[in-house]
Every structure is written in C-alpha cells, then in structure tokens.
Amino acid sequence: MKAYAFGVDIGGTAIKLGLFDLGGRLCDKRELPTPKDDGGAHILPAVAATVTGVMKAAGIAPAAVAGIGMGVPGPVGAQNVVDHCVNLGWGVVDLGAEMRRLLPDIETVCAGNDANLAALGELWQGAGRGCSSAVMLTLGTGIGGGVVIGGKILPGAHGGAGEVGHLAVEIHEAVPCSCGKRGCLEQYASASGIVNLAKNMLAGSAAPSRLRQMPAFTAREICALARDGDGLARAIVSRCGRYLGLGLSYLSCAVDPEIFILGGGMSRAGDILLDPVRQSFRENAFHVSVSTPIVCAKLSNDAGIYGGARLVLGP
Amino acid sequence: MKAYAFGVDIGGTAIKLGLFDLGGRLCDKRELPTPKDDGGAHILPAVAATVTGVMKAAGIAPAAVAGIGMGVPGPVGAQNVVDHCVNLGWGVVDLGAEMRRLLPDIETVCAGNDANLAALGELWQGAGRGCSSAVMLTLGTGIGGGVVIGGKILPGAHGGAGEVGHLAVEIHEAVPCSCGKRGCLEQYASASGIVNLAKNMLAGSAAPSRLRQMPAFTAREICALARDGDGLARAIVSRCGRYLGLGLSYLSCAVDPEIFILGGGMSRAGDILLDPVRQSFRENAFHVSVSTPIVCAKLSNDAGIYGGARLVLGP
C-alpha cells in the first residue's frame, strides 16, 4: 500500500528533499550542499543515501513509497534522461536508470525541469491550489517558467514550453541576452536584469536617485528604494513590471491559464512590482482573459520538492 | 457499430457539412447558405435536415454514426453552450440540447470554436498529420487561432487559448484594434490588417510603388505586386511577415508546438510571406524551438469539417 512519495530538488548549491504523504503533507525535509566535484558523480548517491536515511528514521518500508520525483536545473527528456546540466557538472545522465540502480526497491523514479516542478508544486499545494491550469514564473538570477494544464506539466515538443524568460518583449534592445537573442524578458525582469535596467535608466536620465550614491546595488535594494519613494527606483521597478505584464499577456493569448503565479526572489518585492505587472497585463491581454489572477507563490524554496512528489503521484 | 462521423462548419455565409469514415476519409460533402433570418433560428434545423439527407442518400443508420462535431464562429462553453455568435445572430444557444431534440437518434453532439476545429482538422488529416501538437493561425479578415496538444484542443480557462490575433506585437501603435487594444497582430497580418499597414507605409514613404496608382487594393493585390518585384509592396509583406514570426515566437515560448500551420486567404501568398515569417521566428524564438516547421495549411476551407469529425472521434 503506497502512502508516501519523495520530492527532490537538485540545485547548483543545495539538494532539497521532502517526504510527503498522499494528501500533500510535508512529513520530513532535508537539505544538503550539492556535491559537484568529479563532474557531479556524487550527487545521485547522496540523494539515494538521504532517501534511505529518511525512510529508516520514519520507519517506512520501500513498498510504502510510490516513488521519487526529481527536479534538475536543465532540460529533461521523455525517458528521464537529463541532457547537460551545466550547474551540476553533468553531461548526459540517465537519471531513471541510475536511481533504479542505487535504490532498486523504489518502484518509480521520474524527473523534470526544476521550473516546471515548481509550477506543479504551487498548483498542488501552493498559490494555485484548486486550479487545474497555471503558468508560473520564477524570477531569480534568470527567469524560469512552467506551464501546467489539466494538472500536468506541458513540456513542449522540444522542451521549450514555459521558456517565458526568453519572450522577446523589447524589439529595440542592443545588448544580447545570455541566450544570444536580444530583448528577452529575462534581460529586464530577473534579479540581474533589473540591475542592468537600472544602470541604463540611471545613465539615460538626470533625475536624482539614491541609487546614484551607491557604487553597486542589488535587485532587492532597487525594490526597497522604490518602496521608500525614490522616484527613479520606482520608475525602474515599474518598467520591469510592465515588461512582465506584457509577457504574461502573450502567455494568456497562447494558453489562457486559470492563474499566473510569480515566484523567486524578485516576487518578494510585492505590490510595488505587482501593481505595474497587473496594469500592463490588463492593457495587453485579450478581454476574455483580462481578469486572470496574478499572485505571488506560496511555497517559496519548497515548491520544487512539492512538485517532485506530485510528479510521482499524478493529478 | 460506429463507422461514421459528421463534421459541420457553421459560418456567417455558408454551412459546410462532411460525412467522414473512422479513417478520416471525406465520404460526402454538402454546402448551403447560412439561413441567418429570425435570429439564426433556422440554422440548426437546416443542419439536421442535411444530416438526415446525407444519411438517407448513403443508406447509413443513425446507430452507425458516432456523432456530429460542429464548429461555430464564437466562444463555446464546456457544455456545448454557445455564448453569442454575432455572425449567426445567436444569443445563448444550447447547441447540444437543440441538436439532440432535432436528431434524437444521434448519440453524440459536440461543438467547438471554428478556429480551434480548423487546427484539429489540420492536425488530423492536413499539414500537421502525424504530429501530436500544433498551433494553427487562420489569417482571414481577422486572425483566428487554435492550439492542439496531445491531439486535443486547448480551450483555455476563459476560452482565450489560441487567441493569437490579439498578441500585442507593436507597442507603438496609435490606432485601436477591433478588440479595443492597440498593436494586436491582427492589425498587421490579417487581410484587412495588411491593407491598413500598406496605407500607413505608403503615407510614410516617398518610395515609388504601383500601389500609389490604385485607388483601393486588397491583401491579395499587395502580395501579387510584392511577388512581381514592387519594392514597397515587398517591404509591406515583409513587415507583416516579421510581426507574424514574432507572434509565433511568443507561442513557441509558451507551448512549444511540434509545428506551426498557417491557413486562411493570406497564407496563399506563399514564400513572399513565409520567408520573412520564418526569418523573424528564427531571430526571436528560444534556441531549442528554433527549427519548429512553419507550413501552410492543406485542407483549405474543409479544415473545419475535418476538425468537427475529429472532435467526435477523439485522438
């Protein structure tokens, strides 16, 4: 009788692992630094050892575990084969086969892209609870995205569904994005993007701002100054929000989800960012979808482990 | 034993009706003018009479018919209830109940938006045959769109999935679209849109063009002149194509389909339009999806009846 599922989120810095019951309750949670040496060869053994440790501590037999759902920061093919995770030092890794070798008593192992799993987790037990479709944007150093429809991740024909960070929102951009294109949403609305946007807007204006006194600043500091009433900081956050709202309008014309969920560090800026996002979305979305809620994520850094467990359990 | 399905496409001008076998062969096809008088009250009786006539002519019993799938030019709710079809004179019409009353021996009646059914038809027996996902754009007087994933139409949470004509592709547009927004794809890449684009580009340039000698012109004439080497006409078609390619890149970042299918009158322009579409898509799409084929539809005006039959038969 299956009563539990594991969700694992393998990041470039830390591995997070959660034991969930079938109702979505997080029963145990572990975190360990990602052992990236030797081309990431020790990562999956560390996951397997932690899974075994958690099962022992809770007195759970392998037969009671429905499976392990694992998120990785890179593209995952149909057969749970990971194709190059730069952040983990991995080349092509057959994650399913490898985990079956390490934990032969666990019935199911499945893998997904971390941003997709975060979306699935938020839909299951977070901000999208009760919805059957959602698009989630994770606004971190870059922008990850996940599209969930009918309770299932939409991977896309080439693994490109939900690549919302690379929506071309600014046709007049001169500087290339890390992907090689120009004018991607990620260049304005990620944590690094808003810093670059700020530098450009400071250089292109004579308006006073406390940002001018700072030799360097972070996304968090820009948002804090905007909340404090710094006019230029507010204009920067507003422009960032407008690009985001425009991007959401594109997603809406394509998949028209029940809800948009914003996660990642940038989403903690709150209404100073969300207000221009919502306004720009209302201006650019097609009328039938114009009231789609745009909300902040609820599960924070645990969204990925929730999504991993849900990937095993299914909708 | 079910051996047939009907596909019906109810347009503002004509009703098209096809009898299909389970393998997707079009066995009989009828077309009649849409009787729009009395608030469209005679439309469904005319469909029912034609269905009965086709069954009699072919010697098919109602028990051999899997059902009737019907496309209408407007939004269709989950229970086959049509909510205002301006082109048909309809208010709220419970299409399922009405057809069951008219044809009580037919087991299944289902309905969908006509642009969605065209996409489904092209995926089944047209340009997308063999694919499991596609996005289709119908470039007519306006732009309709349909997203098909896993062989099924994606309707969206508010019926807005595939509303590709209202992607906001031009942030600097001053003139409003019919939907009230500004800068929608439909304002440049529909048959009426390219005519407006041409007028603006003629007014904003002194370049010679045979268009200047014409008191009025159509989308077809603009494309013909572009093919003939008229420089300004070519620039107009190219700009239209670039907006389309940009729009496709947004759809790609959202759903990443296996194939893009362009239908409707504008798609008959051929390579003079498709070349700039493909170039702009390559420049704006995320790298994993950059090779997604962009092709012309194959079923022409029959796509809708194919899609109707497929809606009944399922993937």
Q: What is the pLDDT of residues A111-132, one digit of tens each?
A: 999 999 999 999 999 999 999 9
What spatial distance separates the first Cα and last Cα of chain B, rounded to whole Å? Answer: 18
Query: Cβ of B163 and A258 within 8 Å?
Result: no
Strand partners, A39: none
CB A303 within 8 A of CB A118: yes
The nearest CA of chain B is from the CA of A236 a distance in Å of 18
What is the reported pLDDT for A75?
80
**Residues A255-277, mean pLDDT to the nearest whole number:** 96
**CA-to-CA separations, B87 to A90, B34, B114, B142, in angstroms, rounded:** 57, 10, 12, 13
Burial (CB < 10 A; 0-12, 13-18, 19+), residue A267, is buried
- Select from B154, B171, B253 the Cβ nearest to the Cβ of A164: B253
pLDDT band at A133 (very low <50, low <70, confident <90, very high): very high
**What is the spatial distance between Cα A164 and Cα A116, in angstroms, rounded to a whole number?**
11
Q: Is the pTM of this model over 0.90?
A: yes
Give the pairing of strands A81-85 and A90-94.
antiparallel
3-state secondary structure of B229: coil
pLDDT digits (tens, 9 = 90+) for A176-204: 998 899 999 999 999 999 999 999 999 99
CB A264 within 8 A of CB A304: no
Query: Cβ of A254 and B254 within 8 Å?
Result: yes
Closest-approach residue (CA) in chain B for A255: B161
What is the identity of the amino acid at A31? E
Specify the DSSP element, H or E, that contains A236: helix A231-255
- Select from B160, B181, B253 the Cβ nearest to the Cβ of A284: B181
Q: Identify the weakest region by mean pLDDT among A138-142, A227-231, B133-137, B249-253.
A: A138-142
What is the DSSP annotation of A70-136? EEESS-B-TTSEEEEEGGGTEEEEEHHHHHHHH-TT---EEEEEHHHHHHHHHHHHSTTTT-S-EEE
Q: Which residue's entry shows tokens 């969908």?
A: B112
3-state secondary structure of A27: strand
Taking residue A279's Cβ as centre, other Cβ atoms within 10 Å add up to 14
For residue A258, which residues of chain B lie inside 8 Å, CB to CB? 157
Query: How many residues are listed for chain A in this entry?
Result: 315
The percent of residues above 90 in pLDDT, for chain A, comes to: 90
What is the reported pLDDT for A100?
95
**What is the spatial distance between Cα B3 and Cα B1, in angstroms, rounded to a whole number?**
6
Task: Judge whether residue A67 has pLDDT over 90.
Answer: yes
For residue B157, which residues of chain A lie inside 8 Å, CB to CB? 133, 256-258, 289, 292
Strand partners, A19: A6, A28
**What is the spatial distance between Cα A268 and Cα A280, in angstroms, rounded to a whole number?**
19
**What is the spatial distance between Cα A300 and Cα A263, in angstroms, rounded to a whole number?**
7
What is the reported pLDDT for B75?
80
**What is the spatial distance between Cα A178 and Cα B148, in angstroms, rounded to a whole number?**
31
Closest-approach residue (CA) in chain A for B154: A255
Query: Cβ of A166 and B286 within 8 Å?
Result: yes
What is the reported pLDDT for A236?
98
Interface test with B, best of A286, A290, A292, A294 (most B CBs within 10 A): A286
For residue B167, which residues of chain A lie inside 8 Å, CB to CB? 249-250, 253
Query: Cβ of A255 and B156 within 8 Å?
Result: yes
Burial (CB < 10 A; 0-12, 13-18, 19+), residue B175, is exposed
Token pair belonging to B124: 């089944």
**What is the spatial distance between Cα B159 and Cα B133, in angstroms, rounded to a whole number?**
18
**What is the spatial distance between Cα A248 and Cα A164, in angstroms, rounded to a whole number?**
9
**What is the spatial distance between Cα A7 and Cα A312, in angstroms, rounded to a whole number?**
8
Contacts (Cβ under 8 Å, ≥6 apart) of B59? none
The nearest CA of chain A is from the CA of B17 a distance in Å of 29
ipTM over 0.90: yes
- Which pairs from B288-292 meet CB under 8 Å and 24+ separation? B288/A75, B288/A158, B288/A159, B288/A160, B288/A163, B288/B256, B289/A156, B289/A157, B289/A158, B289/A160, B289/A163, B289/B252, B289/B253, B289/B256, B291/A158, B292/A157, B292/A158, B292/B252, B292/B256, B292/B257, B292/B258, B292/B259, B292/B260
pLDDT band at A87 (very low <50, low <70, confident <90, very high): confident
**What is the spatial distance between Cα A103 and Cα A62, in angstroms, rounded to a whole number?**
9
Looking at residue A138, what DSSP letter applies? E
What is the reported pLDDT for A83?
81
H helix intervals, B140-218: 186-189, 191-203
Q: Any idea what the Cα angle at residue A44 is, between residues A40 and A45, rounded to 5°? A: 105
The percent of residues above 70 in pLDDT, for chain A, comes to: 100
Q: What is the mean pLDDT of chain B?
A: 95
For residue A288, which residues of chain B lie inside 8 Å, CB to CB? 75, 158-160, 163
pLDDT band at A175 (very low <50, low <70, confident <90, very high): very high
Looking at residue A177, what DSSP letter applies? P
pLDDT band at A137 (very low <50, low <70, confident <90, very high): very high
Question: CA A228, A229, A233, A238: dihedral to nearest 10 degrees?
Answer: 110
Task: Judge whether residue A77 has pLDDT over 90.
Answer: no
Token pair belonging to A274: 């969300």
Kindly give the confidence (pLDDT) of every residue in chain B, 315 residues in length, as a single tens digit, with 9 standing for 90 and above: 899 999 999 998 999 999 999 999 999 999 999 999 999 999 999 999 999 999 999 999 999 999 999 999 988 877 888 888 888 989 889 999 999 999 999 989 999 999 999 999 999 999 999 999 999 999 998 999 999 999 999 999 998 999 999 999 998 999 999 889 999 999 999 999 999 999 999 999 999 999 999 999 999 999 999 999 999 999 999 999 999 999 999 999 999 999 999 999 999 999 999 999 999 999 999 999 999 999 999 999 999 999 999 999 998
